[in-house]
Amino acid sequence: MTVRTRKRLAGGAALPSLGLLLSGCSQNRIAQDTLNPAGPYSRKIDSLFWPVFWIAVAVFFLVEGLLVFSLYRFRHREGRGVPKQVHGNKRLEITWTIIPAVLLLGVAVPTIGTIFSLSRKPPGRPLQITVVGHQWWWEVKYPQQKFTTANEIHIPAGQPVYVAVTSIDVIHSFWVPRLAGKQDLEPNRVNHLTIQADRPGVYLGQCAEFCGASHANMRLRVFAEDQSHWQAWLADMEKPAPQPPPAVLSIMQAKGCGGCHTIDGVQGFAADIGPNLTHFGNRSTFAGATFRNNVQNLTNWLKNPPGVKPGADMPDLHLTPDQIQTLIAYLEANQ
Amino acid sequence: MAVTEVRPAAVAPGPSRRSWLLEWLTTTDHKRIGILYLINSFAFFFIGGVFALIMRLELARPGAKLISIHLYNEIFTLHGTLMIFLFIFPVLNGFGNFFVPLQIGALDMAFPRINALSFWLLPVGGLTILSGFVTKGGAAAFGWTNYVPVSLQGGTGEDLWTLGLLIVGVSSLLGAINFIVTILRMRAPGMTMLRIPIFVWAVLATSLLAVLAIPVFTSGLLMLFADHRLGTVFFNPAHGGNVLLWQNVFWFFGHPEVYMLILAAWGIVSEILPVFSGKPLFGYRGVVLAFLLITALSFTVWAHHMYATGAVELPFFSATTEMISIPTGVLFFNWLATIYKGKLRFEPPMLFALGFIAMFLIGGIDGVWTAAPAVDFALTDTYWVVSHIHYVLFGGTMFGVVAGVYYWFPKMFGRMLNRKLGIWHFWVQLVGFNLTFFPMHLLGVRGMPRRIAYYAPDRGWTFLNQLSTVGSWLIAVSMLIFLWNVLAAFRRPKDAPDDPWGANTLEWATTSPPPVHNFDHLPPVRSERPVRDLRLAAAAREGSS
Ligand code: HEC
Ligand code: HEM
Ligand SMILES: [Cu+2]
Ligand SMILES: [Cu+2]
């Protein structure tokens, strides 16, 4: 085999496998994958990623190819004389300054186009939600519908949703890779981004700016719903929460749950240090979408929150197993 | 690691152990200070490396396994901090200390005592940072970027981090001023600015960056401390401070800093390639121009680290960022043209220099993605960035540093490093490095954020993380080979000739190791390759006689 054919073979094998590694493999199973866009906003990013990818691959093979070729061709062998002492070549040097400049211009122009189209507010009167970052969970407000939930965002599929993001404490970053790029949540400042999912489904996300002890435990879920499910969910959320029975209320009052949590329509429960517990039973996960919402996990949680989620701002309230059972029965029924 | 092996006999006729130690502790000889820099830097590299191995073990499986989330946060923070401020930057300064005076034909640095001070501040600063581990609440745990306001929630460890970096900053600043004065004022006769070795240009550019950028960081650190302990509100949002001010200050320093971490490695590689290709550096002036352009442009790009904050003029900063990659690209072509049609000798220094080109290229290409804000929205703060950092700092600077050790070790200690072990070291490091860091690109695009102590099993990240962990242990093996090579060299008698490689620059015109006063005779300097001129002249004399 000549050097050239060997190189071509290597290149031919490497290229598709690289592309495969990046995009292929387990396509739909990875729900937090950037290169598996599920809506127009992430697709805009994706459609810029690939041209840059191919330019990069070309540059990579050009430079590494030249390198490997030179190493082989010009390796030390007996009998070769002293190499010619070339100190430089102005024309060549100018050429290889201009070529990358042109390539980069080729990247810059579509980039700037994409920046502007990503930052535009969607036309008409889109659904608006506000996401407030807390250490280490997401408060999700629907100002048009006047309710608040946490860690799980429901949106109608096929429609753009304009998200305002801000933070109550430290900097977090809102990121649902299959729907959009990142946007930081900063105290004293409101940023915006648009998310949209083509099809109904669950899209995973995660806080992307280091925000302290439980940064790894600050995840979120976006549920894109078809029209009928979306309407049903709205109806659920808009209906008043069941009043806690006296047994539950007395535990909650004794333990001061109301000092941190809100339950709509219940006197003394209007704080936002912790997630809004109205319709808690509706959520599939809790505590920054870290735990599945089931009796076992909730029991562990209420026993000692910082024990299962380091740093969590809900203290160990020394609840007895009976009290925990009573509370869970209420929380889970609170659909 | 090397010092303890130097036999007393090697220093002076029979000094006692104590006075030998005292001599090293009080030395103002730039060569000894250079060696102290290197030893100190590799000691911190060892600590930072152990932290890295622990992180990799923790991430080998989903869920929390080995260490607590808080400990993870501490060690990723100190890994980054030590690697950047106490390994990479000082190790390059160590080479600078030893070789800049030799390469320009000077007796010493311009200010020898300040030079000693800048060295001794380093271990003090480093240990200050590490001492956070024994305080209540532990060491700093907010990343090497230490973003506010989360870092304002830290305890004493956070203050020690701030204080330690203030000390290290003073050290770097004094060192930089010393280099600038030395290079501008102490050159041998005939050593014009366009004849100084390219490594010296790199150190000069680095020092200019340091002098301009470090004071900004210092003021940032002072404001940080004041916010944390004195109740001021520069950054603290609770009282109307601006959290993004810290990011602007940090990165206004931080981006020039990343060039401070690579320029001297470019210099080392640009010294080695010509020697082992038997050709001059292609386009010396072009390379110098590229260094200076990068130095200037690096102050215009800082906000590319802040694209996702929503408070950045995106088109401006992406344009400047793409602009700075043009002179960087030029360097690659100059290096390729240097080896083109050369007569290549694959000695260990050359292997690592070539590895540098091959790996740094990948880091550079990664940067083009993140320079484009829309793509960066997807990639920033993911493992893609961790991969990029390491292709630049490890694949780049670290390969350059190792190349420098293999190249200059004979000059520094009068002993050759073993060639065979060097070749083994190279291949194990190359494979281990890629196995550790290439999978991180894929983890990044698959949505794994950086700085997470653990991850859920359902994300599909486990296999790639395992590859990476295996790779990290290969790197550890390569470092053991390296260490063995160095230690074994000290067990052999001195065997290095004055100029083992057939090199070009003045340090090879003196003995290995050089005498205290550096040169017995200073050869005339008539080009940027005085030692080659000398060699040719000698050969011509022999031919005619
Ligand atoms: C000191 C404030 C505080 C008190 C008191 C408190 N909580 Fe919490 N609670 C929190 C915080 C903060 C979180 C969010 C923790 C996280 O995800 O990091 C939380 C989370 C929860 C969650 C999970 C919600 C979700 O969707 O993620 C439940 C359920 C909960 N608390 C129930 C209770 C109950 C029941 C009580 C009273 C017995 C109580 N909390 C008392 C602060 C408090
Ligand atoms: C010995 C091999 C190394 C391994 C296995 C390693 C591993 C890692 C890992 C896993 C992280 C990510 C931590 C996280 O985000 O949770 C990291 C971060 C980092 N590494 Fe390394 N690393 C190594 C060497 C180096 C070297 C030589 C340098 C620089 C000179 C370096 C500089 C950094 C920096 C700056 C960060 C970012 C820290 C932060 O996020 O604050 N590393 N490293
Ligand atoms: Cu967060
Ligand atoms: Cu930068």
Q: For A244-274, how does the pLDDT look when each residue is reduced to its tens digit (9 = 90+)? A: 899 999 999 999 999 999 999 888 899 999 9
Quickly tell me which residue has 């090579």 as its tokens: B485
Beta bridge partners of A163: A129, A193
**A161 in the same domain as A36:** yes
Nearest to B386 by CA among B436, B432, B352, B431: B436
Distance from CA of A33 to the nearest CA of B (A): 4
Residue A89, in any domain of the structure:
no
The closest of A318, A276, A312 to A291, measured between CA atoms, is: A312
Looking at residue B424, its pLDDT comes to 98
User: With an 8 Å Cβ cutoff, are A52 and B340 in contact?
Assistant: no
Instruction: For residue B451, give the nearest of A35, A97, A215 by CB distance.
Output: A215
Asked if the C-beta of B314 comes within 8 angstroms of chain A's C-beta atoms, the answer is yes
CB contact under 8 A, B69 and A213: yes
Nearest CA in chain A to B455: A216
User: What residues in A contact B365, CB-CB < 8 Å?
Assistant: 56, 59-60
3-state secondary structure chain A: CCHHHHHHHHHHHHHHHHHHHHHCCCHHHCCCCCCCCCCHHHHHHHHHHHHHHHHHHHHHHHHHHHHHHHHHHCECCCCCCCCCCCCCCHHHHHHHHHHHHHHHHHHHHHHHHHHHHHHCCCCCCCEEEEEEEECCEEEEEECCCCEEEECEEEEECCCCEEEEEEECCCCEEECCCCCCCCEEECECCCEEEEECCCCCEEEEEECCCCCCCCHHHCEEEEEEECHHHHHHHHHHHHCCCCCCCHHHHHHHHHHCHHHCCECCCCCCCECCCCCCCCCHHHCCEECCCCEECCHHHHHHHHHCHHHHCCCCCCCCCCCCHHHHHHHHHHHHHCC
Which ligand has an atom closest to residue A274 CA? 1
Residues 6+ apart with CB under 8 A from A81: none
Ligand 2 atom having least distance to the Cα of B49? 1
Same-domain status, A211 and A320: no
- Domain-located, residue B217: yes
Task: Kindly report the nearest CA distance between residue A241 and chain B, in angstroms.
Answer: 32
In a domain, B142, yes or no: yes
Question: Which protein residues touch ligand 1 with a CB less than 6 Å away?
Answer: A 136-137, 150-151, 252, 255-257, 259-261, 273-275, 277, 280, 283, 286-288, 309, 312-315, 317, 327, 331
CB contact, 8 Å: A83 with chain B? yes
The reply to whether A132 touches chain B by the CB within 8 Å rule is: no
Does residue B502 register a pLDDT over 50? yes
Q: State residue B14's pLDDT score.
A: 52
For tokens 């110098």, the residue is B288
* Distance from the alpha carbon of residue A190 to the mean position of ligand 1, in angstroms: 25
Last residue in a domain, options A215, A239, A263: A239
Other CB atoms within a 10 A radius of the CB of residue B189 amount to 9
Residues with CB under 6 A from ligand 2: B 49, 52, 55-56, 76-77, 79-80, 83-84, 87-88, 143-144, 386, 389-390, 393-394, 398, 436, 450-451, 472, 475
CA of B54 to the centre of ligand 2 (A): 11
Average pLDDT value for chain A: 88
Written as one letter, the residue type at B241 is G
Are B282 and A169 a contacting pair at CB < 8 A? no
Q: Would B1 be classed as within a structural domain?
A: no
Q: Is residue A96 part of a domain?
A: no
Identify the pLDDT of residue B545: 60
Report the separation in Å between the CA atom of A178 and the middle of ligand 1, taken as the mean of its atom positions: 29
CATH number reported for the structural domain that contains residue B130 in this entry: 1.20.210.10
Structural domain including B287 reads: 25-544
Total tally of structural domains belonging to chain A: 2
Closest residue on chain B to A306 (Cα) = B69
- Full residue range of the structural domain in which residue A272 is found: 246-333
Which of A45, A87, A108 lies at the smallest CB-CB distance from B318? A108
* Structure confidence at residue A76 (pLDDT): 83
Whether residue A169 is found in the same domain as residue A261 = no
Half-sphere exposure of A212 (CA within 13 A, CB side): 23
Say whether both A163 and A288 belong to one domain.
no
Does residue B18 form part of some domain?
A: no
What's the CA-to-centroid distance between A277 and ligand 2, angstroms? 40
Q: B449, A170: Cβ pair inside 8 Å?
A: no
Which residue positions in chain A have pLDDT lower than 50? 1-17, 19-20, 23-28
Residues A228 and A321 grouped into a single domain: no
User: Residues whose CB is under 5 A from ligand 3 (ion)?
Assistant: A 172, 207, 211, 218
Q: Which atom of ligand 2 is nearest to the CA of B76?
A: 13
pLDDT in tens, B281-323: 999 999 999 999 999 999 999 999 999 999 998 889 989 998 9
Residues A251 and A227 in one domain: no
Do both A204 and A157 map to the same domain?
Answer: yes
Quick one: closest CA in B to A164, which residue? B310
Q: Is residue B283 part of a domain?
A: yes
Q: Which of A207, A239, A271 is the last residue of a domain?
A: A239
Question: Which residue CA neighbors atom 19 of ligand 2 most closely?
Answer: B80
Percent of chain B whose pLDDT exceeds 70: 97
Domain assignment present for A23: no
Say yes or no: A141 and A261 in one domain: no
On whether any CB of chain B is under 8 Å from the CB of A30, the answer is yes
Range B56-72 average pLDDT: 92
- Suggest the residue from B150, B325, B529 to mutate for an interface test with chain A (most A CBs closer than 10 A): B150
pLDDT digits (tens, 9 = 90+) for B506-526: 999 999 999 999 999 899 999
pLDDT of residue A30: 60
Flag whether B17 is in a domain.
Answer: no
| Number of compact structural domains in chain B | 1
Among A182, A204, A239, the domain-final residue is A239
Q: What is the pLDDT of residue B543?
A: 77
Residue A230 and residue A258 in one domain: no
Residue nearest to atom 25 of ligand 1 (CA): A286
pTM of the model: 0.93
Q: How far apart are the first and last CA of chain B?
A: 48
Confidence (pLDDT) at B4: 38
Ligand closest to Cα of B305 equals 4
Helix, strand, or coil here: B380? coil
If asked whether residues A165 and A250 sit together in one domain, one would say no
- Could you tell me if B454 lies within 8 Å of chain A, comparing CB atoms? yes
Among A18, A63, A217, the residue to mutate for chain B (most B Cβ within 10 A): A63
Q: What is the mean pLDDT of residues B403-407?
A: 98
Q: Residue A41 sits in a domain of what CATH number? A: 2.60.40.420
Ligand positioned closest to the Cα atom of B52? 2
Can you tell me the distance from the alpha carbon of B60 to that of B52, in angstroms, rounded to the nearest whole number? 12
Q: Are the CB atoms for A205 and A220 separated by under 8 Å?
A: yes
**Residue B337: closest CA among chain A residues belongs to which residue?**
A88
A88·B283 Cβ contact <8 A: yes
Looking at the domain assignment, is residue B14 inside a domain? no
- Answer yes or no: are the C-beta atoms of A83 and B278 closer than 8 Å: yes
**Whether B237 and A177 lie within 8 Å, measured CB to CB:** no
Same domain? For A150 and A259 the reply is no
Atom number in ligand 1 closest to CA A280: 26
Average pLDDT, stretch B58-68?
Answer: 90
Angle formed at CA B203 by CA B163 and CA B187, multiple of 5 degrees: 125
Report angle CA B43, B46, B492 to the nearest 5 degrees. Answer: 65
Establish if B233 touches chain A: CB-CB under 8 angstroms.
Answer: no
Q: Is B226 exposed, middle or buried (0-12, 13-18, 19+ CB in 10 A)?
A: middle
Q: What is the pLDDT of residues B146-181, one digit of tens each?
A: 999 999 999 999 999 999 999 999 999 999 999 999
Within-domain flag for B19 = no
Q: Tell me whether residues A216 and B452 touch, CB distance under 8 A.
A: yes
A176 touches chain B (CB under 8 A): no
> Are A250 and A235 in a shared domain?
no
Q: Is residue A62 part of a domain?
A: yes
Are B369 and A80 within 8 A, CB to CB?
no
Could you report the per-residue pLDDT of B362-379, keeping only the tens digit for each?
Answer: 999 998 888 888 889 999
pLDDT digits (tens, 9 = 90+) for A200-240: 999 999 999 999 999 999 999 999 999 999 999 999 999 88
